[in-house]
Structure 1
Amino acid sequence: MSLALYLVAPGALDSSGPGDVVVLDGPEGRHAATVRRTGVGEQLRLADGRGRVVTGVVESVGRAELTLRVESVLDEPVPSPRFVLVQALAKGDRDDQAIEAATELGVDEVVPWQAGRSIVQWRGERGEKAWRKWDAVLVAATKQSRRARRPDLSPVVTTAALAARIATAGAAYVLHEDADVPLASLDVPADGDVLLVVGPEGGISPEELEAFRDAGAHVVRLGDTVLRSSSAGPAALAVLSAAARWR
């Protein structure tokens, strides 16, 4: 079984090397010491969410913190290409399920999209609360999947802003059930941002499709079945990862 992984603040491990002592405190320290009941002598990993991972042995455990003697340090390179999931806001927990699975599958950035047919609206305090919930989902999924890098979470975008982002990307694929071109038939760029756009329950409007095509996006399908908004993005990420990463 893989070692438990805890996230620390970016930069907290910058000066850590083999033989150094690192303190894990705050919510993560309490979870390790109190909830997980981590004991002296156990091995675990700390990650800063930006690619640095420290592996070490627990030397002491307090009520809400523990100290770790560093055994090794790994710096994971920035992925190339970067996979970006543009997930339309959806009702219920479907968008939460989508970004959780996408994190487990290695997505590098998540972009919430306020699509024209999205039932859910992110506005004001409610929108800020929803954004924080997505961020918490990404953090939990990063730890569960033992990732060194957590996905970035961008602010919610409009259709116009998304079209502008597509125009500057290395490639952009819009998933649509009526498309003729299979995603698996296309080559994945070797670098740059690769965007996957998933629409809401009501689908992507013709006007949105036209705007995305004009910006340079490919409109593609995954297979012969229609997937929910919660599963389409992760399935597409698996296709791209098989072509570009899982070799």
Structure 2
Amino acid sequence: MTDPVFHVPDLAAQLATHTDGASGAVFTLPATETKHLAVKRIRDGESVVLTDGRGLGVAGVRTGETGGTVTGRRVLPYTPAQPTVTVVQAIPKGERAELAVDLAVQAGADRIIPWQADRCVARWDGKPGKADKARGRWEATAVTAMKQARRLSGARVDELLTDIADLPGRLDPAHRHRVLVLHEVAAQPLADTDLDADELVLVIGPEGGVTDREIAAVTAVGGSAVVLGPEVYRSAAAAAVALGALGVLTPRWSRDPR
């Protein structure tokens, strides 16, 4: 079994204070992760992995039976997945919203853009501050899922996208993009789609499906409607299933494990 992962946002700053690198360096975990050490019953001398969530990872061992200190052994190699995958996720209802994020991050999503699709029942654009609170929950879920999946780099959660026509403004113009909207009646199978790009953008509609206007907006910027397979998935599960397919159809799963 791989070693449990703990999130230390200032890991790079802590590492920089040790001229000899990670070996023998003592790292301090945040209070939330110190509690997590106790919950998982990690004992003195047991192996753990620390990450800043941006690709930096340090393998080490817990120091002592209490407190949140870890003695480092080595900096872990990290190779980002290529192509990267951004998930544009229509906001599901209730607890399925966090489930969608959890599953997508475990499956390897690099970025998640919450999307207020035309047929979304759940709304973030109501009371002042509602979108910020909801996004905060997605960010916390993404960190938990990153640790569960033993990832060294998590998924960034962007601000709310209110119209899919504005998606091009969220994409880096220096990258080659392939925008794919998953649609159950599309004629083009994902397995037969050209996936040669720097970044793949998966557009996941709500339970009521994407509208003709939204599909037209995607195709107007060079995107395509594709069908994932014969089954129809819930909005919360579709991105994870698609990411699994992309792991096989692209080099994303060809990286050497730690």
Q: TM-score, normalised by structure 1?
A: 0.91
Q: Given residue 180 of structure 2, which amino acid in structure 1 is its aligned partner? A: Y
Alignment partner, residue 229 of structure 2? 223
Alignment partner, residue 30 of structure 1? 35
Spell out the pairing of 1:143-182 with structure 2 (5 A cutoff): 143-159=147-163, 160-165=165-170, 168=173, 170-182=177-189
Spell out the pairing of 1:32-71 with structure 2 (5 A cutoff): 32=37, 34-62=38-66, 65-71=67-73
**How far apart are 1:187 and its partner, in Å?**
2.5
Alignment partner, residue 117 of structure 1? 119
Task: Figure out how many residues of one structure are paired with residues of the other and give that number.
Answer: 243
Runs of 4+ residues deviating >6 angstroms: none
Q: Among residues 198, 210, 216, which one is paired with 1:210 in the alignment?
A: 216
Note if contact 1:164-1:215 (Cα within 8 Å) is conserved in structure 2: no
Sort the Cα spacing of 1:165 and 1:36 in 2 relative to 1 into closer, same or farther, 3 A.
closer
**How far apart are 1:218 and its partner, in Å?**
0.9
Percent identity over the alignment is 35
* Unaligned segments of structure 1, at least 5 residues: none
Quick one: distance in 1 between partners of 2:172 and 2:158?
17
CA RMSD in angstroms, aligned pairs only: 1.8
**How far apart are 1:2 and its partner, in Å?**
1.5
Q: Which moved more, 1:11-20 or 1:119-128?
A: 11-20
Note if contact 2:96-2:236 (Cα within 8 Å) is conserved in structure 1: yes
SS of the aligned residue for 2:64 comes to strand
* Unaligned segments of structure 2, at least 5 residues: none
**How far apart are 1:38 and its partner, in Å?**
2.3
Q: Which moved more, 1:97-106 or 1:109-118?
A: 97-106
Q: TM-score, normalised by structure 2?
A: 0.88
Note if contact 1:110-1:153 (Cα within 8 Å) is conserved in structure 2: yes
Q: Which moved more, 1:229-238 or 1:166-175?
A: 166-175
**How far apart are 1:78 and its partner, in Å?**
3.1
Quick one: distance in 2 between partners of 1:30 and 1:53?
20
Sort the Cα spacing of 1:18 and 1:184 in 2 relative to 1 into closer, same or farther, 3 A.
same
SS of the aligned residue for 2:2 comes to coil
Deviation per residue, 1:171-200 (Å, 9 max, x gap): 0100111100001111322x4221000001
Deviation per residue, 1:37-79 (Å, 9 max, x gap): 32211111111101111111222243xx332221111141333
Quick one: distance in 1 between partners of 2:172 and 2:48?
42
Note if contact 1:96-1:134 (Cα within 8 Å) is conserved in structure 2: yes
**How far apart are 1:216 and its partner, in Å?**
0.7
Quick one: distance in 2 between partners of 1:235 and 1:77?
23
Note if contact 2:31-2:68 (Cα within 8 Å) is conserved in structure 1: no
Q: Given residue 64 of structure 2, which amino acid in structure 1 is its aligned partner? A: S
SS of the aligned residue for 2:63 comes to strand
